[in-house]
Structure 1
Amino acid sequence: MALLNLNHVQKIFDADTNHQVAALKDIDFSVGQGEYVAIMGESGAGKSTLLNIIATLDKATNGSAVLNGQDLGELGKDDAARFRREHLGFVFQRFNLLNSLSNRDNIYLPLVLAKTKPAEMERRLKPLASRLRIDRVIDRYPAEISGGQQQRVAIARALITNPDLLLADEPTGALDSNTSQEILSLFDEVNQNGQTIIMVTHSAAAASHAKRTLFIKDGRIYHELFRGDQSLKQYQDQISNTMITLTNGGE
């Protein structure tokens, strides 16, 4: 059974006006438990809109998005916020850490909002900090550590709730190439440990770490690729060639 089902999702902005914009026209795909899926497409193709619907930050105009049996479109504002805390983890391009909080408290934040007991928060953090190699910076502040370390802290914050689904929006977009590779290797490890990941990216190098890549064009799934037994380089080349075809308007 799929963890996530997108069933003919359509998103129209300004639907009640003469200036309708169809950001998503017909998105239909599923993601299984433990999958690692990358989503690519040109600017304006609908990637961010799709991610926002999966993240319960927006609702589909038509169709449905169902995560672990829950129709996301049926959630009210308060229930959606609680659902995000309990079932979703987020990693952003700009880290979205609070500079007024220590790295430890940034990681604890979703658990604090869920009123988790301090002993349980510490129990969850210890192995996570070790696995992400942030033990030595845990009690420093975001401004005192590197961008790569900040992204590791952000990943820890996303994973500490044991989410059903990890959503990553351009997670290497603000990092240099070496640090990007370190973060992508961490995503590989996290996925190998069973975490389901959906990553939106413009980078073929980043997408090559996923097991499957979906390409969006004009609000629809244009194509999909599976990594299979290919090397990272082989899969990256295949992704790059598909993006060239998509950009040039090929069918």
Structure 2
Amino acid sequence: MSLLELKHVKKNFEQAESIETVEALKDISFEVQEGDYIAIMGESGSGKSTLLNLIATLDQPTSGSLQINGQNLADLSENQAALYRRKNLGFVFQNFNLLNTFNNQDNILLPLVLNKTPVPQLQQRLMPLAKSLKLTELLKRYPYEVSGGQRQRIAAARALITKPQIILADEPTGALDSYNSELLLRLFEQINQAGQTILMVTHSALAASHAKRILFIKDGLIFHEIFRGEQTSEQYLQQITNSAALLVRG
């Protein structure tokens, strides 16, 4: 059974002060297996972020179904959806979404605290993760006291500390320079190789080239799909670039 399955998902939005309906997603179907690393690409307004919001249960589809481990997400109550997000999903955002009133350690531990994780387990989860992300010396500092790349690693640690089934990353390298982008993408590769499932929305062909599979979305539909397979990094990046150019030309 697939970890995540989308069947004929459609999402419409009513425009404010207008009778027109915007079809953000027209007919999206695909499956995600455990251990997949999928990048989702497309132009602005193509439906990428809408798709991520539906998977995160932050919104509901107009029609079609989304299932995780066979559970239809539309059947969850608001409280159940919140619990589902805390227990099954880890989020990495472009703007980090860290709380400046909490130090970095408390930002990382927040999902575990919300899950009422016993206090002795907090440090057991935290320290190995902080060490692997080179954050040990930064834990007692605050987000505004560290660099953008360090804040993104703190956000990644917060996403990973609950050992989620799926990491949802929305333009995670968008606010980073090339050095810190590469560090984060290497981290994603490492955790994926260890079995972590990742869905990443990105505009960057270079960022997408770290994924095993890429879905191209245009006008609310899956326009194209490619797999890395046995290609070299250079071959794969070239295929992505070509596909992205084809996407723009339509």
What is the Cα deviation at residue 132 of structure 1?
Answer: 1.2
Corresponding residue number in structure 1 for 2:249: 248
Corresponding residue number in structure 2 for 1:58: 59
Corresponding residue number in structure 1 for 2:216: 215
What is the Cα deviation at residue 138 of structure 1?
Answer: 1.2
The more displaced of 228-237 and 48-57 is 228-237
* 2-structure distance, mates of 1:128, 1:69: 30
What is the Cα deviation at residue 149 of structure 1?
Answer: 0.9
2:110 is the alignment partner of 1:112: no
Post-superposition CA distance 1:138-162 (Å, at most 9, x none): 1111111111111111011001111
Corresponding residue number in structure 2 for 1:6: 6
Corresponding residue number in structure 1 for 2:170: 169
Post-superposition CA distance 1:92-111 (Å, at most 9, x none): 00111001101000001111
* 1-structure distance, mates of 2:244, 2:74: 31
* 2-structure distance, mates of 1:122, 1:192: 24
* 1-structure distance, mates of 2:75, 2:25: 19
What is the Cα deviation at residue 196 of structure 1?
Answer: 0.2
Corresponding residue number in structure 1 for 2:157: 156
Secondary structure at the residue paired with 1:216?
A: strand
- Superposed, 1:18-57 pairs within 5 Å as 18-57=19-58
Corresponding residue number in structure 2 for 1:85: 86
Equivalent residues, number: 248
The more displaced of 77-86 and 229-238 is 229-238
CA RMSD of aligned residues (A): 1.1
Secondary structure at the residue paired with 1:43?
A: coil
* 1-structure distance, mates of 2:233, 2:189: 12
Structure 1 unaligned runs (5+)?
A: none
Structure 2 unaligned runs (5+)?
A: none
Aligned letter for 2:10?
Answer: Q
* 1-structure distance, mates of 2:148, 2:87: 27
The more displaced of 92-101 and 72-81 is 72-81
Secondary structure at the residue paired with 2:20?
A: coil
* 2-structure distance, mates of 1:221, 1:38: 12
* 2-structure distance, mates of 1:186, 1:45: 28
Secondary structure at the residue paired with 2:3?
A: strand
Corresponding residue number in structure 2 for 1:194: 195
Q: Tell me the TM-score normalized by structure 2.
A: 0.97
* 1-structure distance, mates of 2:201, 2:92: 10
Post-superposition CA distance 1:49-88 (Å, at most 9, x none): 0000001100111000101222111112111111100000
What is the Cα deviation at residue 231 of structure 1?
Answer: 2.1
Q: What stretches of structure 1 move > 2 A for 4+ residues in a row?
A: none
Secondary structure at the residue paired with 1:235?
A: helix
Corresponding residue number in structure 2 for 1:72: 73
What is the Cα deviation at residue 122 of structure 1?
Answer: 0.9
Secondary structure at the residue paired with 2:82?
A: helix
What is the Cα deviation at residue 232 of structure 1?
Answer: 2.1
Percent sequence identity is: 60
Q: Tell me the TM-score normalized by structure 1.
A: 0.97
